[in-house]
Every structure is written in structure tokens, then in C-alpha cells.
């Protein structure tokens, strides 16, 4: 008997819904998009391969921007399966996500499958049984405006990427890419780094002390004013290190020390006590960006890691849809939240009436809901743990549950107190100190939730600071008064959380794109992580400079935000897709994209002007950093020197650049071998650093003696004695007394070892090569090989479970260097990147390796019989 077929995007979502509906329905997964623009020439159908537009854009730019959609190889079996199932079904429900991407997936499924049975669009923003039954009972048709908006966005991204990337290949470096939002995000990070590079620190001093009342109660206070003039703080300086006000006093070390000494042991009187009621309202429920920001601050999760956990929670029916810009809660959710608060914390902790939050996000879709626990009965984080085994998902659910409950709780209440105390010290100088306190009388929502901060020095909400009971004219005694030096700090680099907030504030990107924006700029080498911060690479500086100078509109923040607004208008049916794309591409009074990326405009770009200027040397010669075919390099006149692309640009200066330029290049002469009189050289070859005895013999065919460095040696610190010891290898240790065979100590590809005939034994310590005695060597050789097998090296780092395979992700070291593995797939990782490697980055490396194996026909691995 034919059953209705429901198609969703993911297998997890399919299993969840199938479990609710039972055998009366067939639920299958499309595994995301089944159709897209071609990614390479091989994917272009044969009948279009001669068309220039197909090769250049994948879009018919002169025929209403019709996209050339293809079913990629990895989706062909899925399409075949769905077509076969459709032939056996009574009706079709397309139950993809309710946003633009989901609507487009539903439309593509309809176009490819061409159903002959009734087709309905089924939408929901949470997956408990009641929501699924309600969605089945209230289907709709596909929203063509949403589909148009997604197609316009996809077409626009293709035009910008395929238009600008070849310009970067010609003028900067092959393999670079540009993107409509990606390049703007990179520009934000570069601009912040430019500010750091231009920043000039300013020093100032403060005076802090402990004060005691007559009742021996103590509190701390800071010097606020000297002779009525306020003390300069960090906020009083600009980024050039200049004071911005003439009405403040800037203390230097000498004066601060003198004032501290004068105040210490003196009695001061309370001049004012100001007490005010303190009220702190709760935070709004999560939308996509605030969830990503808070998970970054509190859990140290990247945006992609947060969204993977949230996606799984949604697909399993535990939370509502996780891509939203709304802070609204439905009436059902409000009732559920208030019932939970009353049950868990009592009526006192309940807000007097339901709280409804106004969205601060431009073009927010108010019809959608905030991210909250799903259904009308919410499990606590402890209750859900047996159902959700993944630790990341548990922690993200805990954030969502507590934030949602807190949003409907009573405000925190207390009292904030500010005290001023002063007195006259040596030479009649008047000093006034200030202290502040906070007492929480009722914690309200703070009992459940306190929002994190991007600045680790910033004080969290509700942190109490107690002051003793003080009245005006009370006397207090100064103790332990100290002068402290400070320096203003450069603008903080973006973290993932603060960059997402900046993008949202500027109207760039949408909830569904924030995580992919971050992943893209990191994966493509424009940004790398240093701790939690995002650092632009030198390549990012070069590409940003080119785009700002020659394609300024395309990386202008306001222009990019207006394009997002236009896409929203298309989604609402207020703007037509084709005329809008035509204006962007062909121009409308001003040059369009096509005119900018072709002809004289691009030919006029001088690659030599694309550089990071560091200044001039003592002779007035400019010192710049450029990006060439083999990566970034420093240039001063005809001098060149490579620099790592992951060197933070704010660590580059004229002085450090000259130091790099003046480092010895090529061979390093260490000295002369006293026995042969030949020169001893240190070199770096294809397989690493080594030492060599004598120059190359040219046509004679004789190779000079060479020896690799030991694993604990550094070429820059190598001396002639070290080199001669290396060149003495292999070393004859002596004859084995039982076998009469010679034992030799040598350094090989896999480290130091002993050899006796065809028998080999590894040495743990490389220095044993030069000092092991015959007696010890005999003991090592007599030890059976299997019992000396070295235990597996412990992992260098444990990162968590891979979101795709579920395997434990660890960083290990092997014979070819460090690598990351989930137990099935291994991916190499650079040694300098290990310290900053997190689960997000490791998951990307492993996913990339799987894709490579797929291309080679080696994935999935064949099961062993």
C-alpha cells in the first residue's frame, strides 16, 4: 500500500520524525542540497561546455541570469533513491527547513523529482510530536519569493567570487579567493590590525590603598583626584598615546610614589556616601548570533562547533530552529517558561508578567521564534543528559535552557554605593579617594544565568563588592598605599564572538551565514587563530588593500549591508530578482561588476603597489611586505626575505624586517675540519637541516659526506663541534663478544639506532650515539626486539568527538610529523599550529581529508572480511 513520503535535509531529522509518525509514513533525507551551480569544468554538461558564460560564471548573465544547475556526483544516488521511492508513494511532503535555504532545497527537489502525486510544503520550527502533527495538518505551497531570494544570493555570491578571484590570481597570488561577505569580514579584521599597528602606548600611574575604619573593617579605594583635578585613566588617552583632556592629572612614577608615601599611615575622612537602588533586568532569549557569542565566551566554542551541536539538538527535537534573528517567544513558550520557574525556584523568582523583547536586529523576522527548548514541557539539562550523550550538545542545551528561563525571571535587585574620602597630606596637597560597592538583596535571574564578557578584565553582572557601613565625616586610616604603573592597551583583536557581533551590528550576513563566514576566512588562510583571537595574515592585508583601492564599493560595509537589505526585500516580494542582478552586474549609470573585473580597470592595477608599508630604513629606503608566488616576503630595494604568512602583522616593524633581511642566507659556514681541511657547512634541504663536509664536487660525481641534525638540534645554534660529531657517524662501538659482529651507532630516518649485521635496535636518547659504551650496546642488542617495542606515544592533545564520525579526535605525532585523527582518518597538521588547534579546525581538516579520499575513490573504507 502506498504511503506518503516526507523528505527532510538530514538523516538525524528523518529518524526523529519517523519515530513519531510510525509505519504510516516514509521519511527520507536529501542530505542537504541536491543541486547547485557547477564547481568545476567537469561538472558542466556537455551541451554547455562551449558556452563562455558557462565556463566563466555558471550563470547565463545575458539571459536573465539563469543559473546552470547540476546534480553533483555525490547527490546522484540520493536522487535515484528518492525517485524510486516517489514512484511508490501516495503524496509527497517537502519538510526542509523554514528559512531561505530550506525553501530552495524544497524547490530543487520538486524540480528534479517532478512528482506526479500531490506535493505539499510542510514547515515547522521545532520537532516535538505535536509540532510535526500540526505541520502535517497545515501544509502550504513553496514560497517563490523565498526561493528567488536564495537564488539571488547564490547567483550574487557566484558573480562576485568568480569575478574578483581571477583578479587576485593575476595581481597578488594564484589560488586566492574573494567573496561578497568573506572579503568584507576580512577587511574588518584587517582594519582592527591596522589600528593595533598604528597604536602608540601611553604610560600613567595610579595610587591604590587599603583603608580601615575605627571598627577595624577594611575596604580598598583608589586615588580619584589631586587638588580637585581628576586622575587620568586609560580612557583619557587616544590611540596615538595623547591625552584627550587638559583637565586631568597624569601621574608619573615619581609623583605617584611620593603621593602614595604621603598618604600611607594618614587619616582621611568620608566626604560623601551615595547609595542608589540597583536593578538589573534579564537578557533576551538567544538568537543565532547571541548563542554563538555566548558559547564562544563561556564554552570556548567556535561558531561552527556551536552550530553543529545546536543542529543536532534541533534535529533530535530538543530545541527550536537554531537559525533565527528573532528574540520572540510564543505564548505557549511563555507559559511553559513561567511554569518551570515557579516549579523550580518559586513565585518570587517569576517576573510580574511575561517579558516580550524587542528585536534590535535590522530586518529581523518577528514571525520566527528565539532559540529555546522545544515543546511545551522542557527537560532540565540534567534530565536531558541520558538522551543526549554528546558533551557539546549537553553544554549548548544547558546554555539555551538557562538563558530562556532567565529571560522570564524577576530582575535582580540590590544597592550600589559610591564613597568619596579625602584629606590633606604633605605640602597641603588634597587627595580624594573613591570606592564603590554593590550588595545584591535579591538575585532574581542572576541565580540562573550571568552573561559572559568578551573582555576578560570586564566585571560580570551581579558581582558583589561589599563596603563597611560608612557615614560622612567618619575617620579611616590609610594602610598599604601603593603606586601602580599602567600602560594603555591597543584595540583588542576580534574573537569569533565579537566579529559576529560586529557583522550583525553592521547588517552584514544573516543568522544562517555567520558560522560559515568565520570558517571560510580561517580555512582560506586570510585569518588564523592566536588563542581565542582572530589575526589577519599578510595575504589578508594584500587582498584587502587591492579590493579597497580598486573595488571599494564591493568591500564597503554600507554597500554590503544594503545588498543584504535588498535580498530581504526580494524575500518579502518587494523587489524583483532579475532587474536587481542586472543593475549590479551590468551597471546603472555607474560601472557594474562586469566593467570592474575586465579590461582597462584590471590592467591598470600595479601589483607593486599592493604592499604593507613598514616605513623607511636609516638611508630612507622603503621597507615593505608583499605577497608573491611563494608567499609573503620583505622587500627593501633589491633585498628580499621570506616571512611566514602566519606572522602577526603587528609584530612586524622596520627594525624586525631589517633583522630578517640581514640574516645569513643560504649555506652557513661553521668552520674547517681539522683532519681533512675541508669546510664544514650547515644547510637546509628538502628533508630538513643537515651538515656537510666540503663543497659539492660538481662533475666528479663524488658526493660530500652529509649528516642530518638530531631531533633536539636547531640549525641556528649549531657550532663546529656539533657538526663534527654528527659527521663522525656512523660510529663503530666495538665487536659483540658472543657473535664477533661489529656494533655500529647511527642516526637514521626514524631516529638514533644500533646496528649489528641485520639486527637493529632503537636508542631512546640521541646523545647515546656518541657516548654509549660497548657493554651497554651489547645489553641493548641482547634484549629481544619485541620486548623493547616502544609504547605508543601519548596524544599531544585531546579535542573531543568529531561531529561527523563521532570518533575521539586527538593530535598525535608520527614518523612524518604531527597529525590529527578520529581513529579512522588522519590529517597532517603543522607543528606550529598545534597549540592553537581546536575541535572546529580539526574537524575541518578531517572533513577535507575525507573529501580527498572520496576523490581518489578510497572513501568510505572497505570493510575487512
As annotated, the active-site residues are: 321
User: How crowded is residue 553: how many other Cβ atoms within 10 Å of its Cβ?
Assistant: 13
Nearest 10 degrees: Cα torsion 523, 833, 169, 64: 0
Residue of 712, 747, 791, 786 lying closest to 755 (CA atoms): 747
SS3 state of residue 124: coil
d(CA 109, CA 120): 12
Those residues with Cβ within 8 angstroms of residue 253's Cβ, 6 or more apart along the chain or in another chain:
205, 483, 485
Those residues with Cβ within 8 angstroms of residue 768's Cβ, 6 or more apart along the chain or in another chain:
745, 752, 776
Which helix or strand (DSSP H or E) is residue 684 part of? strand 679-685
Contact 540, 612 (CB under 8 A): no
d(CA 572, CA 41): 35
d(CA 697, CA 700): 6
Q: Show the CA angle centred on residue 690, arms to residues 689 and 691, nearest 5°.
A: 140
Cα diameter, the chain: 102
Phi, psi of 855 (to 5 degrees): -60, -35
Q: From the DSSP assignment, how many helices (H) and strands (E) are in the chain?
A: 25, 32
Look-up of cell digits 592533545:
797
Q: Long-range contacts for 636-639 (Cβ within 8 Å, ≥24 apart)?
A: 636/661
Contact 635, 643 (CB under 8 A): no
Exposure on the CB side of residue 404, measured as CA atoms within 13 A:
30
CB neighbour class for 287 (10 Å; exposed up to 12, middle 13-18, buried from 19): buried
Contact 132, 14 (CB under 8 A): no
d(CA 567, CA 573): 10
Amino acid at each position: 500500500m502506498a504511503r506518503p513520503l516526507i523528505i527532510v535535509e538530514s538523516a538525524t531529522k528523518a529518524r526523529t520524525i519517523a519515530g513519531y509518525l510510525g509505519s504510516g509514513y516514509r521519511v527520507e533525507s536529501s542530505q542537504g542540497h541536491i543541486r547547485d551551480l557547477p564547481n568545476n569544468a567537469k561538472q558542466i554538461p556537455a551541451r554547455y561546455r562551449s558556452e563562455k558564460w558557462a565556463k566563466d560564471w555558471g550563470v547565463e548573465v545575458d539571459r536573465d541570469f539563469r543559473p546552470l544547475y547540476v546534480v553533483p556526483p555525490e547527490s546522484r544516488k540520493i536522487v535515484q533513491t528518492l525517485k524510486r521511492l516517489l514512484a511508490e508513494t501516495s503524496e509527497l511532503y517537502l519538510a526542509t527547513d523554514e528559512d531561505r535555504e530550506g525553501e530552495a532545497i524544497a524547490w530543487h527537489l520538486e524540480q528534479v523529482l517532478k512528482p506526479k502525486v500531490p506535493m505539499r510544503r510542510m514547515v515547522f520550527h521545532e520537532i516535538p510530536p505535536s509540532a510535526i502533527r500540526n505541520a502535517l495538518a497545515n501544509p502550504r505551497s513553496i514560497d517563490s519569493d523565498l526561493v528567488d531570494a536564495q537564488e539571488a544570493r547564490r547567483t550574487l555570491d557566484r558573480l562576485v567570487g568568480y569575478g574578483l578571484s581571477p583578479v587576485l590570481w593575476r595581481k597578488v597570488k594564484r589560488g586566492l579567493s574573494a567573496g561578497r561577505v568573506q572579503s568584507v569580514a576580512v577587511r574588518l579584521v584587517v582594519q582592527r590590525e591596522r589600528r593595533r599597528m598604528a597604536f602608540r602606548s601611553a604610560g600613567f600611574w595610579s595610587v591604590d590603598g587599603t583603608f580601615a575604619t575605627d571598627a577595624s573593617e577594611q575596604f580598598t579605594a583608589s586615588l580619584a583626584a589631586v587638588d580637585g583635578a581628576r586622575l587620568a585613566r586609560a580612557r583619557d588617552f587616544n590611540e596615538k598615546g595623547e591625552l584627550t583632556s587638559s583637565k586631568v592629572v597624569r601621574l608619573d612614577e615619581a609623583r605617584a610614589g611620593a603621593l602614595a608615601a604621603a598618604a600611607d599611615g594618614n587619616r582621611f575622612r568620608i566626604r560623601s556616601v551615595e547609595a542608589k537602588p540597583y536593578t538589573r533586568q534579564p537578557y533576551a532569549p538567544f538568537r543565532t548570533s547571541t548563542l554563538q557569542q555566548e558559547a564562544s565566551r563561556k564554552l570556548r566554542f567556535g561558531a561552527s562547533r556551536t552550530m553543529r551541536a545546536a543542529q543536532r539538538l534541533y534535529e533530535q527535537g530538543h530545541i527550536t530552529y537554531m537559525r533565527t534573528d528573532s528574540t520572540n517567544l510564543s505564548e505557549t513558550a511563555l507559559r511553559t517558561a513561567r511554569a518551570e520557574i515557579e516549579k523550580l525556584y518559586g513565585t518570587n523568582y517569576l517576573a510580574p508578567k511575561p517579558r516580550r523583547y524587542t528585536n534590535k536586529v535590522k530586518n529581523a523576522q518577528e514571525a520566527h521564534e528565539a532559540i529555546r527548548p522545544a515543546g511545551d514541557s522542557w527537560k532540565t539539562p540534567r534530565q536531558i543528559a541520558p538522551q543526549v550523550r554528546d558533551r557539546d550538545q549537553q553544554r549548548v542545551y544547558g546554555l539555551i535552557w538557562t538563558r530562556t528561563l532567565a529571560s522570564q525571571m524577576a530582575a535582580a535587585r540590590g544597592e550600589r554605593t559610591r564613597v568619596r574620602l579625602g584629606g590633606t597630606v604633605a605640602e597641603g596637597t588634597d587627595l580624594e579617594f573613591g570606592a564603590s560597592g554593590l550588595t545584591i538583596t535579591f538575585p532574581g535571574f542572576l541565580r540562573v544565568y550571568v552573561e559572559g564578557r568578551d573582555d576578560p578584565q570586564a566585571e560580570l553582572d551581579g558581582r558583589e563588592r561589599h563596603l563597611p557601613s560608612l557615614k560622612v565625616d567618619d575617620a579611616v586610616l590609610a594602610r598599604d598605599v601603593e603606586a601602580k604603573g599602567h600602560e594603555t592597551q591597543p584595540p583588542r583583536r576580534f574573537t569569533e564572538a565579537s566579529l559576529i557581533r560586529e557583522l550583525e551590528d553592521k547588517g552584514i550576513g544573516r543568522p544562517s551565514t555567520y558560522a560559515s563566514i568565520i570558517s571560510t576566512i580561517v580555512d582560506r588562510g586570510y585569518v588564523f587563530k592566536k588563542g581565542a583571537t582572530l589575526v589577519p595574515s599578510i595575504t589578508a592585508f594584500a587582498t584587502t588593500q587591492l579590493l579597497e583601492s580598486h573595488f571599494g564599493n564591493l568591500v564597503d560595509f554600507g554597500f554590503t549591508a544594503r545588498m543584504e537589505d535588498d535580498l530581504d526585500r526580494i524575500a518579502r516580494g518587494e523587489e524583483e530578482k532579475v532587474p536587481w542582478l542586472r543593475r549590479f552586474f551590468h551597471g546603472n549609470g555607474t560601472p557594474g561588476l562586469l566593467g570592474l573585473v575586465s579590461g582597462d580597470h584590471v590592467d591598470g592595477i600595479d601589483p607593486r603597489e599592493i604592499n604593507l608599508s613598514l616605513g623607511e630604513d636609516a638611508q630612507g629606503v622603503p621597507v615593505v611586505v608583499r605577497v608573491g608566488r611563494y608567499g609573503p616576503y620583505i622587500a627593501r630595494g633589491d633585498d628580499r626575505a621570506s616571512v611566514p604568512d602566519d606572522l602577526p602583522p603587528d609584530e612586524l616593524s622596520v627594525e624586525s624586517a631589517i633583522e630578517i633581511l640581514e640574516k645569513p642566507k643560504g649555506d652557513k659556514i661553521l668552520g674547517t675540519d681539522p683532519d681533512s681541511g675541508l669546510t664544514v657547512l650547515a644547510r637546509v634541504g628538502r628533508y630538513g637541516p643537515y651538515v656537510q663536509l666540503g663543497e659539492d664536487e660538481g662533475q666528479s660525481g663524488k658526493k660530500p659526506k652529509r649528516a642530518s641534525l638530531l631531533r633536539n638540534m636547531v640549525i641556528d645554534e649549531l657550532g663546529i663541534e656539533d657538526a663534527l660529531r654528527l659527521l663522525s657517524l656512523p660510529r663503530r662501538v666495538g665487536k659483540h663478544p658472543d657473535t664477533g659482529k661489529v656494533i655500529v651507532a647511527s642516526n637514521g630516518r626514524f631516529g638514533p639506532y644500533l646496528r649489528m649485521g641485520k639486527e637493529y635496535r632503537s636508542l631512546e636518547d640521541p646523545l647515546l650515539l656518541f657516548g654509549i659504551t660497548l657493554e651497554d650496546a651489547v645489553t641493548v642488542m641482547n634484549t629481544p626486539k619485541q620486548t623493547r617495542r616502544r609504547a605508543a606515544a601519548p596524544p599531544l592533545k585531546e579535542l573531543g568527538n568529531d561531529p561527523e564520525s563521532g570518533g575521539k579526535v586527538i593530535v598525535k605525532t608520527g614518523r612524518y610529523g604531527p597529525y590529527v585523527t578520529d581513529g579512522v582518518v588522519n590529517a597532517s597538521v603543522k607543528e606550529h599550529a598545534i597549540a592553537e588547534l581546536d575541535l572546529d579546525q580539526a574537524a575541518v581538516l578531517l572533513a577535507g581529508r575525507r573529501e580527498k579520499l572520496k576523490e581518489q575513490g578510497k572513501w568510505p573504507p572497505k570493510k575487512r572480511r
